[in-house]
Chain A
Amino acid sequence: MQQSRIRNFCIIAHIDHGKSTLADRLLESTGTVTDREMTEQLLDSMDLERERGITIKLQAVRMRYKANDGDEYLLNLIDTPGHVDFSYEVSRSLAACEGALLVIDASQGIEAQTLANLYLALEHDLEIIPVINKIDLPSADPDRVKQELEESIGLDASEAILASAKTGQGTEEILEAIVQRVPAPKGDPQAPVQAMIFDSHFDAYRGAVAYLRVMEGTLKVGDEIMMMSSHRRFEITELGVFSPRMIAVDQLGPGEVGCLMASMKQVRDCRVGDTITSATRPASEPLPGYRKAVPMVFCGLYPVDNDAYPELRDALERLQLNDAALTFEPESSAALGFGFRCGFLGLLHMDIVQERLEREFDLSLIATAPSVEYRVTTTDGDVKLIENPADFPEQNDIENIEEPYVQAAIMVPEQWVGPLMELCQGKRGIFTNMEYLTPERTRLIYELPLSEILLDFFDQLKSRSKGYASLDYEFIGYKSSKLVKLDILLNGDPVDALSCIVHRDHAEHRGRQLAVKLKEVIPRQMFEVPIQAAIGRKVVARETIRAMRKDVLAKCYGGDISRKRKLLEKQKEGKRRMKQLGRVEVPQEAFMAVLNVD
């Protein structure tokens, strides 16, 4: 296929605005999949994604489309994630495209995340094709969305395509727009190879598989290639494209999107974001434009059963293969034993990793409450980056603490602006700006400590706006804060895994709430268990879990024995899922209790 007939594009959309359904329609309409093969929402392949309605992994699908001009075109759809945590992954897929469909729900309008991704796409000089979706719904208001497009983004709304991915309306028009408006990829097939890895996954038989976009030069099976960040060399064993299943090809030229296998056995062999070049005739520079993924949120992950530590390490290594942003380092806790301090892009990313570890690797885990990375200057002038509250120096040895701040953009209908400003103030937010985009839509900009967003910020945002507010945020730097470490003592013993860093003005209140919450989630034990919250040596709150008084099955006769035995087995199993801290059995939820206080 001639390079001039290739179009690479992606879809930018908010969760639930219909991206996957639209992708399905495009695949159907180009005959890439037949109706029979059509499983709902083909692009979301993992169960987890399907359940959450979010696309986590990127995939690229090649479609052949015969356009109205009589020529056949190759359209490569590169899938993008739709959540703020994955803006790095979005940036990778955007860099592999020349154009983007901007899908907006005709009744909901533009959301904060869509806007953030759109700005990212504009930075990459992508041709934007606005699609107003779900116009078949009675609540659809395309005129209002058009007005938003013009007023808040400055796009020409007359070019917007009205569509319904559900009924198929507008699909043809979208395909034509891709052909006519998205530029063909540039690049010289004879130039030294530069190919960008935008995703990878691990295949049990083939090893690491790199998904890539060739920018310059041509990759051929049998070529020796080099990873530009590590200078490691491999021989290409297989090249493929997806349509939607993999089809082997001999070569991939400029503008083409596909996958590459080269007997890469290690996680580090094919880092997402890296540039692949030829080992014999390397490019002079790697491709620009990639942001390195920086973990922003950290938590400790520990196996409930200490013996499962090696399994947890293997599982994390396996996940890291698919997930360039996940980091982990061994750590140990007096309370929880050996585990890992893991770094994530954000809270959703953290949830997904935990869930995959439990679901796909059958691990029973305890996660400590998420924290951020603090910059602590000690009195002797040392500066340390500390992401685990347990590692904080003594209060007296601390000169200064800085914490990461984000700029948060909140899109919200006007009537909820008041409650949300109140929320941001309560979370130590610094007001930056407020824009009235349309009468229905206000954009609030605040600087907020990231640690406050990790608590219940998102839930509060949703509940105080009846679900209408949306949030996007980006890291802006460190700021000095008056922070203290809050310790929790169970039965008189400090539990390092329950320590947290809080603002001095909120510390006592937090301590009291945390003690109350822990009393709720820790079941009564065979003896009385005091819970104390302390700052340094000063106890700021105390609660007592009273001793268990009655736990006995009333009856057990002939017909009951099997069932009662099973009940007791279940009780024993429940105990096994608890963590033994000294003599106290603590359920997993307790370690997340800090998140559930306001």
Chain B
Amino acid sequence: MSGPVGIYVHLPFCVHKCLYCDFASCGRESGSHRYIPRYVQGVSAEIFRRAGEVGRIPVESVFFGGGTPTLVDPKYLGQVLGAIFQYFSVSTTAEVTIEANPGTVSPASLGQLRESGFNRLSLGVQSFDNRVLRRLGRIHTAAQAVQAFKWAREAGFANISLDLMYAVPGQSQGSWNETLRSACNLGPEHVSAYSLIVEEGTPFGDWYQRGLLDLPSQDEAAEMMETGVEILEEAGLHRYEISNYARQDFASVHNQIYWENRPYLGFGAAAYSYWGTERWANKESVHGYIEAIQAGQSPVDFTERLGQSGQMGETVMLGLRLLRGVDVAKFRERFGVELVSVYASQIEELLELQLVELTPEYLRLTPRGLDLANQVMSRFV
């Protein structure tokens, strides 16, 4: 494996599951929280085992995601991060991110995390409108989010990202604008602004099927997306990916690994890895994961091998998410063929539709293409 890689650690524990969430996570009522100590041990064991196979590889980013990682005692989080530092060659300038729910942090816990080596905090704020927060089933208020941000700054986090959500049932354009402004006023280095996606198997999914969800129309959602770009750009947060905005030099190192289709290793239940020509995922069940690890077995229960055309398709699908686009030279270097000849007919059609533009260095989406990215990407998969 050439070049530094990313490491992801999944902590699937939440106070309770949000109404829209289809991630691998479990609320307190599931009873799985009592496994946290064993789970953390399991993750450390998996890291140790994997390092034995891949060696002390260079790492440029570590990301603890969830669930709600900050529901786990900072002491344990520090132990897992310590294992990563111990067994892999994590660069001193590496980005080390942890996701946090504003309702689960304190000045003390944030201090401990900073001390363990986390240098980037991704705060799941979603909205600064308490009505919207309630609709989403979030456990925190807008005031708690502001408080958490200030505590994080005081604890020494110089790189903070805020997650925001629009196109939420019952959310008005005015509420969204307010949320954007409140976010900008805090002065974060990074913002992710996501359009709510209603997923099957979630309470939102059920309500949607029964016609009970007052979702904004396609046009209203498009307008929210537009004002998002406008207000965030004005505040110096530059859109560098479909849903992501950052100040100069603060684009997420970790997420760019995904979008450039580069290798990463995932640890913990439901964590995905992408390595060489394979992608695999661990068991989703916390209990199943722990049992496999403790029995010395592989926790993996999904593997797919990607051929050259599959890898090329994914490289384009992911690369187009970045505003700068798919790197033509890197594509040639990796696959030994020209992007423009592999996808000649698709690119020609998309150029004509003015959904993409092609420079000698990049194939990228036009502003219209960004709004209709699926129309473009579906031509490459």
Q: List A residues at the B interface (Cβ < 8 Å).
A: 524, 526, 546, 548-559, 561-562, 564-565, 568-569, 571-572, 575
Contacts and interface: CB of A to CB of B under 8 A. Distances in A.
Interface string B311-353: 0011001100100000000000000000000000000000001
B243 A555 contact: yes
Contacts of A526: 353, 355, 372, 375
B266 A556 contact: no
B234 interface: no
Contact of A572 (B196, B279, B378): B378
Contact of B8 (A550, A555, A558): A558
Nearest to A573: B378
B242 interface: yes
Nearest to B372: A551
Given A550-B372, A554-B197, A572 B381 contact: yes
A561 B318 contact: yes
Interface in B9-52: 10, 23-24
14 contacts: A526-B353, A549-B218, A549-B371, A551-B371, A552-B195, A554-B196, A555-B194, A555-B243, A559-B266, A561-B274, A561-B314, A562-B279, A568-B377, A569-B378
B245 interface: no
**Best-surrounded residue of B264, B266, B373 (most CB of chain A within 10 A):** B373
Contacts of A553: 197, 242, 373-374
B232 to A, nearest CB: 15
Contacts of A571: 374, 378
A569 B353 CA distance: 20
Contacts of B258: 556-558, 561
A553 B225 CA distance: 12
Contacts of A568: 317, 374, 377-378, 381
Given A552-B374, A559-B10, A562-B279, 8 more contacts: A526-B355, A546-B219, A548-B375, A549-B218, A553-B373, A553-B374, A556-B321, A559-B272
Contact of B313 (A554, A559, A565): A565
B197 A551 contact: no
Contacts of B133: none
B270 interface: yes
- Main SS of chain A's interface residues? loop
Nearest to A571: B378
A554 B199 CA distance: 12
Contacts of B194: 554-555
Contact of A554 (B195, B304, B353, B381): B195
**Best-surrounded residue of A526, A549, A552, A553 (most CB of chain B within 10 A):** A552
Contacts of B317: 556, 564-565, 568
A499 to B, nearest CB: 29
B278 to A, nearest CB: 11
A569 B381 contact: yes
B60 to A, nearest CB: 15
A546 B221 CA distance: 15
Contacts, number: 94
Nearest to B365: A552
A285 to B, nearest CB: 64
A575 B271 CA distance: 32
Interface residues of B, number: 45
Contact of B304 (A548, A555, A562): A562
A557 B264 CA distance: 11
B370 interface: yes
**Best-surrounded residue of A524, A526, A569 (most CB of chain B within 10 A):** A526
A561 B377 CA distance: 13
A209 to B, nearest CB: 47
A586 to B, nearest CB: 16
Contacts of A572: 378-379, 381
Contacts of B321: 556
B222 A549 contact: yes
A332 to B, nearest CB: 26
Interface in B279-335: 279, 281, 304, 313-314, 317-318, 321
B137 to A, nearest CB: 18
Interface in B245-260: 255, 258-259
A243 B317 CA distance: 61
Contacts of A546: 219
Contacts of A556: 258-259, 317-318, 321
Given A550-B225, A554-B197, A572-B381, A559 B271 contact: yes
Given A526-B375, A561-B272, A572-B379, A550 B222 contact: yes
B66 to A, nearest CB: 11
A526 to B, nearest CB: 6
A578 to B, nearest CB: 13
Contacts of B255: 557
Contacts of B270: 559
Contacts of A554: 194-197, 242-243
4 nearest CB pairs, A to B: A549-B222, A552-B373, A550-B222, A554-B194
A334 to B, nearest CB: 22
A557 B321 CA distance: 11
A549 B242 CA distance: 15
A552 B374 CA distance: 5
A549 B195 CA distance: 14
A552 B353 CA distance: 17
A272 B370 CA distance: 61
Contact of B266 (A548, A558, A562): A558
A552 B370 contact: yes
Nearest to A552: B373
**Best-surrounded residue of A556, A558, A572 (most CB of chain B within 10 A):** A558
A344 to B, nearest CB: 35
Contacts of B381: 565, 568-569, 572
Given A548-B372, A555-B243, A524 B379 contact: no
A341 B221 CA distance: 44
Contact of B218 (A524, A558, A564, A575): A524
